[in-house]
Amino acid sequence: MCGIVGYIGKKEAWPILIKGLERLEYRGYDSAGIALLDKGNFSVYKKKGKVAELSKFIKDKNSNELSGGVGIAHTRWATHGIPSDQNSHPHLSNRGDIVIVHNGIIENYLSIKKVLINKGYKFKSDTDTEVLANLIEDIKKHEKVSIDEAVRLALTEVVGAYAILVLSKDEPETMIIAKMGSPVVIGIGKGKSKSEFFVASDATPIIEHTNKVVYLEDGEIAIINKKNKKLTLKIKSIKNNAIKNPYIHTLKTKIEELEKGGFPHFMLKEIFDQPESLRNTMRGRIVFNKGSIKFGGLEKFEKEIKNLKRLTVTGMGTARFTGLIGEYAFEELSNIPTKVEYGSEFTYRNIADTLNTGLIAISQSGETADTLNAIKKAKKEKMLTLGVVNVIGSSIAREVDAGIYNHVGPETAVASTKASTSQVLLLVMLAIYFGRMRGLSKIKGQEILKEIEKLPVLVEKILKNAKLIEKLAKKYKKYNNFFILGRKYNAGTAMEGSLKMKECSYIHAEGCNSAELKHGPISLIDKNFPSIVIVPMDSMYEKMKSSIQEIKARGGLVIALTTESNKELKNIVDDVIYIPKTLEILIPILAFIPMQLLAYYISVERGNDVDKPRNLAKSVTVE
């Protein structure tokens, strides 16, 4: 949650900061603000609403007010305090000597705030962040230390998660960055002098300026300051001041991947990206002559994989729903008992037996706090930890024993589309990889791989009929309730479809295993409660057809999502969406696409902000 941006260098900071906030706005858009430091003075501008509101606000300022080569900025997803100008970041300390932006939650802020109030400090906002600003000021004043040491000492007193940027009037050519549980990346400027640095919650605001970055680790504090007319970067431990050697990563993402490419919204672009994103997911990994998969990062763990007695798959939101599909794949192809857990709940439960147990953590961003905590617990329990992650260099990618990257490129819209289909594909491929070590025949592996290679063309075929789904959206946009129903592999598909409808269209949609329908939920069915029934011609076809009859008998409308050769349902249901024929295990990948399109087009019809749905953020970095 929340996006932070910083710049220190020779250029004017504010255009870089505003552009950076626009890149990070998927992380939160309740309010935005920037602070500039020039000639020993702060200029702070904050506005409730999206970054566009802040841009309008500062356009009226003259160039002198916006000057300065040092600045920090923030786009907010509200935690403590309602969205307002007052609660917007950056926050100044009482004396106005220190300014801070913060992503995360300080859990013990109330006790610290009470101590500071007793010392005479006053607070203008309801945030935990302003408390931290004043704590830093208080330590700096009484301990008479540098700003980096004041920040370090303050952070030894706080409990919680944070990624912070701090500036001080007293040290105008210094920027402090610190991390615990929330992501932050530092970009190293190009050119001979390398005399500029860029800081952000992730690399998206940085890649247009440099491809050389340092990912700050938990418990680290970074100091950027000027020495001998040159900016330098130093990284230390918050706990004991020990110097750390930064590892410089080279980013491979291209700036063009962050643009809409002629589409009206990122979400639609990313839906249409899926033929290529699926190709990128499988590229170089299919070993057809062996009926198997190559995952280079897993090879040194083959012995542990062969000895696995059980698997836990963990994730939140879309990642957990793709995990539910993977659960069937692992049990069918790998013969490994598998269960799916919320990342949040795995962390707090007792695990009966962890011997020869593996954890597969799924996260598009690689920063999901609940999932990251689950990995840390699993490692303490000596479990093998594997990751399915899209963002290279992310916290989860670095934390797991071994990982697999989606390689689908940046996903900017809050509602996940191309990452979700890639996750399902990777889980199936992983099940084949495990299975070939545990008794899955080469012929069976080749049969599935042959169909996997067809997926991009099949998705292109579905996308060619997008206009038909847009037409359905116009018909069904007025309804405020939906059931989305599936069985077996498609129970998870139904839950993901309902999430898309909720996220984008603000429609109450329930994803449900259709077997549960007559155990209570069917009482909701009437003419104003349509159902989308995922009913491909697979092993569950007759069971799903019975569910359709039960709904129709009670006056419910039905949209059937079925295999294109199936003409039987046309005279039974109200509308039909067809998908190409494929193996049962791969149907969810194809079924995701029309549900994404329907949620998108209904959202547009209802006038919603498709890429930035209300109350949501792309990456949930607080628990």
Q: What is the structure's pLDDT at 619?
A: 63
The pLDDT score that the predictor gives to residue 598 is 98
Residue 456 burial (CB count, 10 A) = 18
Please tell me the predicted confidence (pLDDT) of residue 58. 85
State the pLDDT at residue 256.
64
Provide the pLDDT for residue 394: 86
Query: Pick from 215, 258, 162, 191: which is nearest to 622 by CA?
Result: 162
CA distance 533 to 369: 33
**Residues that are catalytic:** 2, 618
Structure tokens at 168: 């001080």
Same fold for the pair 3-257 and 261-453: no
Dist. CA 206–CA 194, nearest whole Å: 14
**In this prediction, what percent of the chain has a pLDDT beyond 70?**
97
Q: Rounded CA gap, 104 and 99, in Å?
A: 16
Q: Which CATH class name applies to 3-257?
A: alpha beta
Q: Burial of 63 by CB count in 10 Å (0-12 exposed, 13-18 middle, 19+ buried)?
A: exposed
CA distance 313 to 315: 7
Alpha-carbon span 79 to 81, nearest angstrom: 6
pLDDT of 429? 98
H or E stretch at 36: strand 31-38
Task: Work out the number of other CB atoms within 10 angstroms of the CB of residue 235.
Answer: 19
Give the three-state DSSP class for 528.
coil
Structural class in CATH, domain 465-623: alpha beta
Task: Give the pLDDT confidence score for residue 606 in this predicted structure.
Answer: 96
Q: Could you tell me the CA-to-CA distances from 338 to 38, 311, 380 in Å, in that order?
A: 57, 5, 20
pLDDT-flagged residues of the chain (< 50): none
Report d(CA 13, CA 317) in Å as an integer. Answer: 36
Q: Domain segments of the chain: what residues?
A: 3-257, 261-453, 465-623
**Torsion, Cα of 550, 551, 554, 557 (10° steps):** -150
pTM of the predicted model as reported, rounded to 2 decimal places: 0.77
Question: What CATH number should be reported for the domain whose range is 261-453?
Answer: 3.40.50.10490
| Backbone angles phi and psi of 213, in degrees to 5 | -140, 160
